[in-house]
Amino acid sequence: MILNRTVLKIAKYEFRNVARSRWLIPYTAGLALATELLIRFSGTSSAALLGASNLILLVIPLVSLTVGTMYFYSSRPFIELMLAQPVPRRDLAIGLLIGSAAPLAGGFVIGAGTPLAFHGAFAGETARAALALIGSGALLATAFASLAFFISVRIEDRLRGLATAIGAWLALALLYDGAVLFVAAVFSDYPLEKPLLTAMLLNPVDLARVWMMLQLDVAALLGYTGAVLRKFFGSGIGTVIAVSALLAWTAVPVILGVRRFQRRDF
C-alpha cells in the first residue's frame, strides 16, 4: 500500500509547510492574472486556450523543476530529523513528495482554473479543451516535481542539482522538438512514424501538448509528432495514450528516486 497513514501524516505537515511559504500565493495569483489577461484579450475560444497552453508548457515545467529541486535540497535537515524518528524511509520519501507536488499542482489548478471557470470555459464546446488544459498542466506539475525529487536524491551538491534541473527543462521544453524536427528533415526519405511516436512518448512536454491539441480541431498546429499520433490512434485512444504516458512520467522518477532514497546516506 503506497498511501499508508504515515505517508499521509508526513504529506499533511509538508503541505502545511509549503502552503504557508511565501512563493505559493504569488505564484497562484500570477497564474490567475496571466490567464485572466489572456482571456480578456482573446476570449475563451479554442485559439485562446491554445495560447494559454503554450504558456503553460513552458512555465509549469520550469517552476516545478526549480522550486521542487530547491525545495528538496533545503528540506535535507528536516529529512535527517525525520529519519531519526521511527518512520520507514519509503514513507518519508513519498510523504515529502506528495506534500510538495500537491501545492505545485494545486496552485496551478486554482490559479489557471478560476478565471477559466469564471468565464465559462468549462461549459459548451470549449469544455474538453479547458479540461485538457487544466489536466495537462496539473500532470506536468507533478511529473516535473517528481523529476526534481529524483535529481535531488541522485545529486549531492545543491548547485549541480539546480543546474541539472534547468538543463533538463531546456532540453525537454525547448530543444527537444527542434532536435526531433531536425532528425525528421534529415531522414525525410525514410518511414519515421514509429521512431517519432517513440520520441514523443519520451517527452512529457510533448505529451501535454498533444493531449491538448487532440481536443481541438487544429490539425495544422499539432506538430509533427501530434499529427503522427492522431494518424495512428485517432483522437480518443491518442488521448488515453498521452495521459497514461504523462502518468508514467510521474511514476518512473518517483520509483527510481524512492529506491535511491532508501539506500543513500544522509
Partner 1 sequence: MIEIKGVRKAFGDREVLRGVELSVQPGRVTAIVGPNGAGKTTLIKCLLGLARPDSGVVTVGGEPLTADPTYRSRIGYMPQSPRFPENLTGNDLIAMLRDLRGPDAETDDSLVRAWSLAGELAKPLRILSGGNRQKVNAVTAFLFRPEVLILDEPTAGLDPAASALLKDAIIAQREAGRTFVVTSHVMSQLEEIADDVAFMLDGTIRFMGSLRCMKEQTRERNLERAVAAMMRREEAA
HEC string of 21-41?
CCCHHHHHHHHHHHHHHHHHH
Cα–Cα dist 66/258, whole Å: 19
Interacting residue with partner 1 among 78, 118, 122, 233 (CB under 8 A): 78
Near partner 1 by CB under 8 A: residue from 33, 80, 171, 232: 80
**For partner 1, which stretch binds (CB under 8 A), given 27-35, 40-48, 80-88, 187-195?**
80-88
Cell numbers linked to 233: 490512434
Place of cell 544522509: 266
Among residues 19, 255, 14, which one has the least CA distance to residue 153?
255
Which of 6, 114 has the CB closer to partner 1? 6
Segment interacting with partner 1, rule: CB under 8 A, options 16-24, 29-37, 206-214, 240-248:
16-24
Nearest Cα to Cα of residue 100 among 208, 12, 29: 12
Query: CB 62: neighbour CB atoms within 10 A?
Result: 15
Q: Examine residue 160 and tell whether it contacts partner 1 (CB under 8 A).
A: no
Among 144, 148, 139, smallest CA distance to 211 is for 139
What cell does 116 get?
477559466
Q: How many CB atoms lie within 10 A of CB 108?
A: 24
155 versus 221: smaller Cβ distance to partner 1: 155
Closer CB to partner 1, 80 or 193, in the complex: 80
Task: Decide if residue 233 touches partner 1 (CB under 8 A).
Answer: no
Instruction: Provide the mask over 29-68, with x wherever binding to partner 1 is found by CB under 8 A and - wherever it is not.
Output: ----------------------------------------
Site for partner 1 in 87-106 (CB under 8 A): 87-89
In whole angstroms, give the CA distance from residue 92 to residue 62: 25
As measured in angstroms, the least distance from the Cβ of 89 to partner 1 is 8
Residue ranges that bind partner 1, judged by CB under 8 A: 6, 9-10, 13-14, 16-21, 75, 77-78, 80-81, 83-89, 262-263, 265-266
